[in-house]
Structure 1
Amino acid sequence: MNASGGKLAPEVRAILDAARDRPGGETHLSVDSRSFPAAVAATADAGRVPIIAEVKPTSPTTGGVRDDDPVELAREMVAGGATALSVLTEPKHFGGSVESLRRIREAVDVPVLRKDFILREAQLDAVESDLVLLIARFVGDDLPDLVAAARDRGFRPLVEVHTRDELTAALAAGADIIGVNNRDLGRLDVDLGTFEALAPEVPDDVLLVAESGVKTTDDVRRMREAGADALLVGTAIMDGDVRQNTATLTTPQ
């Protein structure tokens, strides 16, 4: 495996090191997944912005810990208009768990993305979800096999990229849902121009998600104008009233 793609910030390196040690599931999953593309299309047809709202108790790039019941947070996000949910299952650095994802998916009727640092096939079997995140920089040459393994289980893989080379690798692996992360995992800084630079190179038949750095309705408009079919938003929703924050970002200005 050729993972990491160069220098990583110490916080990210620690997350990756911890991920290598986490076990996978004992049973090969078979998931009847909810359709994320259909949910995005339905939201757009209703005149709203498709938002993946993220249940993120904490992270290395945010201060403090949100200790509300994750199920209640998820319900509030859906009530605010979230098209889908992203649920952190990384325990050590983000306060997530597979049990939280399991409970949330049982409580809502929207697609749920498992956001974690999956490095090998067995880790796909830890918990059922509708989508799984695969980070191109971390899995390297294993990306095509992991995309295929995810689909074999019924998951829809969302492949995250940050550079042109990673985008090329994602397209070669057959990814049809791609997230462009505006955060540089080497320096942890955020630049919305990253999405704007890569979006024109993504084929029209690929569902494109803008990730990281979206804080305001102006940011939402900027990413949508650049070609985002959906946006993944964490901190800007978790910081305060999650229902109201979600509703604000999903309402066109």
Structure 2
Amino acid sequence: MNASEDKLAPAVRSILATARERSGGAERLDVDARSFPAAVEATEAAGRVPVVAEVKPTSPTTEGERTDDPVDLAREMVAGGATALSVLTEPEHFGGSAENLRRIRGAVDVPVLRKDFVVREAQLDAVESDLILLIARFLDEQGTDSLATLYEAARERGFQPLVEVHTREELDRALEVGAEIIGVNNRDLGKLEVDLDTFERLAPHVPEDVTLLAESGVTSVADVRRMRAAGADALLIGTAIMDGDVEANTERLTTADAERASRAAETSDAETDAGPTSSESTDAKRGRAESTDTTPRNTDTNQ
């Protein structure tokens, strides 16, 4: 169903091969998850950009390694306004661990995503988190469980599954299993190249009642605004935050919409009776938590 494994970048093939052999937890988990959609809504209500800041000591696509205590990094991200955190638990290629996730989740009060290559149901039970990443490209393949199986198993345990997609076919599969949180990865795992057009192509096909994230390649305030204009409810950002002053970088990216939000707030009362302007209607579509609309999102870029 997915692209064949030989089309993956060598580093990704190695990660996937290791993931297939990784064991799971000793007992089935029962997670009391912090709501990610509610956190996104609260962040937007406060006039900030919802950012999932990633605690990523290293990766195959970056140079060097951060040796800071992961808990200290996480606290700096939250202090900078992060809506949620993403914590790598893959040890060999990303320098992550389940223990890092446990410590971070115990130290903050925002939702925490476990970012790893989970390919079998037993691996869901390795460690508690609020969200768990399911990469559509790696599932429904030999040696892995199906996306539908893992999605339902994750929900039964209390996790909020974040289904990651890169193509229209993967997006359709995510929607077929009922995914409520979807991330569009701008990075092609075959070539490890990043193209923000990927999100812009797929976003119009995502229903309004889905919480939609843009992942990879967001390095600047301009990129944040571009992805928001294309329909991103939140952005997952790693390197641009980890490279330098973590708290300052997080604050810079989470306040990218602050000026526009302030202007909208100042004029909202005067324009209530007249109906929303095009800019305000785009902002309104991001009030996601109570939406039941399944029509495609409006991605007007003339805002």
Between Structure 1 and Structure 2, whose CA radius of gyration is higher? Answer: 2
Instruction: Provide the TM-score with structure 2 as the length reference.
Output: 0.82
Instruction: Tell me, yes or no, if structure 1 residue 235 matches structure 2 residue 239.
Output: yes
Separation (CA, whole Å) in 2 of partners of 1:190 and 1:107: 32
2:21 equivalent in structure 1: 21
Separation (CA, whole Å) in 2 of partners of 1:247 and 1:5: 40
Deviations 1:161-200 (A, max 9, x none): 0000000000001101000000000000000000000000
| SS of aligned partner of 2:204 | helix
Separation (CA, whole Å) in 2 of partners of 1:18 and 1:35: 31
| SS of aligned partner of 2:247 | helix
Paired AA for residue 193 in structure 2: D
2:216 equivalent in structure 1: 212
Separation (CA, whole Å) in 1 of partners of 2:117 and 2:249: 27
2:102 equivalent in structure 1: 102
Deviation at 1:252, TM superposition (A): 2.5
| Superposition map of 1:17-166 within 5 A | 17-140=17-140, 142-166=146-170
2:249 equivalent in structure 1: 245
Paired AA for residue 36 in structure 1: F
Paired AA for residue 147 in structure 1: Y
Deviations 1:23-63 (A, max 9, x none): 00010000000000000000001000000000000000000
Paired AA for residue 91 in structure 2: P
Unaligned runs of at least 5 residues, structure 1:
none
Deviations 1:180-234 (A, max 9, x none): 0000000000000000000000000000000000000000000000000000000
Deviations 1:120-162 (A, max 9, x none): 0000000000000000000127001110000000000000000
| Superposition map of 1:217-228 within 5 A | 217-228=221-232
Paired AA for residue 107 in structure 2: A
| SS of aligned partner of 1:96 | coil
1:168 equivalent in structure 2: 172
Separation (CA, whole Å) in 2 of partners of 1:154 and 1:202: 24
Deviation at 1:21, TM superposition (A): 1.2
Q: Give runs of ≥4 in structure 1 deviating > 4 Å.
A: 2-6
Instruction: Count residues in correspondence.
Output: 252
Instruction: Provide the TM-score with structure 1 as the length reference.
Output: 0.98
Separation (CA, whole Å) in 2 of partners of 1:21 and 1:201: 35
Unaligned runs of at least 5 residues, structure 2:
258-303
Separation (CA, whole Å) in 2 of partners of 1:19 and 1:158: 18
Deviations 1:85-120 (A, max 9, x none): 000000000000000000000000000000000000
Question: Could you tell me whether the CA contact under 8 Å between 1:105 and 1:112 is conserved in 2?
Answer: yes
Assess, with a 3 A threshold, how the Cα gap between structure 1 residues 124 and 4 changes in structure 2: closer, same or farther: farther
Question: Could you tell me whether the CA contact under 8 Å between 1:5 and 1:138 is conserved in 2?
Answer: no
| SS of aligned partner of 2:139 | helix
Separation (CA, whole Å) in 2 of partners of 1:140 and 1:70: 33
Paired AA for residue 56 in structure 2: K
- Aligned CA-pair RMSD: 1.0
Deviation at 1:4, TM superposition (A): 5.7
2:271 equivalent in structure 1: none
Question: Could you tell me whether the CA contact under 8 Å between 1:47 and 1:252 is conserved in 2?
Answer: no
